């Protein structure tokens, strides 16, 4: 697992996932389960509050609680005779409506974070390790080495991976140094892969940030953050980042540097006039809108220039 040094407070966090400003702390080996539980309980509490707000407004506006799917109606007159209700003025209604919006917004936002955390936990990886795995697979694809990258900490079952973080005792599995790994891997598989990438960088070869795989646009894309016309997966799995989206027209050439299963990130190839003006257009675009060029002219031009130098 990846241990990360954070400055400040200049300390090493075992199995670091990310730094969370909500709790003003790092999420790692010792508190990953507690942080994920917080992400689960917060939407549950907000959902409960939202139900109370909705029933309160409904009761005050319509004098009774009515369920549309049945004829059951709860008359509140008896409750009013025993105990008077709190006056529900216009400011109170506005405040309740505002609180309902906050509760629903928090439920959706934190619920998405909980889904993301559970997704990586069931694969027994952290956000940093997912980034390293993505880089390793891109390097293998670019150099066409034919090797198979196996994530070392995925034990082959979601329940086994789940138990690495959540235990009945509350203490996470492992000591933070030695971990249970895949039979085909060892404790330092990711370290070796990182060393290989560093060596490639020192030798001046193309690494993650310099690899450019050429793609050609086969569909138009208007640059929308969540395009409805590009499929449900593309719509719901849009990258959660402030990086821009770039519009594409059929026939455009893009030099992609990274990507996910449904989206890719890269630079659009500009004409000579735009390049002389110093323009640069880069960002995310749907993977389904492009296809990989069978003949990578970007790589070919580099090889040609190297031959001329030699």
- Please give the positions annotated as active site: 20
Report how far Cα 63 is from the mean position of its chain's Cα atoms. 45
Q: What torsion do the CA atoms of 150, 152, 153, 156 make, to the nearest 10 degrees? A: 40
CA angle 250, 253, 259 (to 5 degrees): 100
Element (H, E) at 258: strand 253-259
Q: How far from chain centre, in Å, is Cα 142?
A: 24
R_g over Cα of the chain: 26
d(C-alpha 126, C-alpha 14), whole Å: 11
In 3-state terms, what secondary structure has residue 301? helix
- Residue 35 preceded by cis peptide, ω within 30: no
Token output for 270: 């500009």
Residue 242: helix, strand or coil by DSSP? coil
């Amino acid at each position: 697992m990846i241990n990360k040094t954070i400055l400040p407070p200049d300390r090493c966090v075992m199995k670091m996932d990310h730094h969370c400003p909500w709790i003003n702390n790092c999420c790692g080996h010792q508190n990953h389960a507690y942080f994920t539980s917080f992400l689960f309980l917060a939407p549950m509490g907000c959902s409960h509050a939202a139900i109370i707000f909705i029933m309160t407004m409904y009761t005050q506006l319509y004098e009774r609680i009515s369920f549309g799917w049945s004829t059951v109606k709860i008359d509140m007159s008896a409750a009013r005779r025993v105990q008077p209700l709190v006056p529900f003025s216009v400011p109170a209604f506005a405040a309740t409506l505002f609180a309902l919006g906050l509760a629903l917004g928090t439920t959706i936002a934190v619920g998405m974070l909980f889904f993301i955390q559970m997704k990586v936990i069931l694969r027994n990886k952290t956000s940093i390790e997912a980034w390293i795995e993505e880089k390793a697979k891109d390097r293998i694809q670019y150099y066409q080495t034919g090797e198979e990258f196996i994530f070392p900490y995925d034990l082959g079952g979601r329940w086994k991976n789940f138990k690495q973080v959540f235990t009945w005792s509350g203490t996470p599995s492992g000591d933070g140094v030695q971990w249970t790994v895949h039979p085909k891997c060892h404790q330092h598989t990711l370290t070796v892969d990182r060393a290989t990438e560093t060596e490639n960088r020192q030798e001046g070869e193309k690494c993650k940030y310099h690899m450019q795989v050429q793609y050609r646009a086969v569909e138009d894309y208007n640059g929308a953050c969540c395009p409805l016309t590009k499929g449900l997966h593309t719509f719901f799995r849009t990258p959660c980042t402030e990086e821009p989206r770039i519009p594409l027209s059929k026939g455009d050439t893009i030099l992609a540097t990274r990507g996910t299963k449904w989206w890719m990130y890269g630079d659009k190839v500009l004409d000579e006039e735009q390049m002389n003006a110093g323009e640069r257009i880069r960002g995310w675009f749907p993977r389904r809108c492009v296809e990989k060029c069978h003949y990578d002219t970007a790589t070919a031009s580099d090889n040609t220039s190297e031959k001329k130098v030699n």
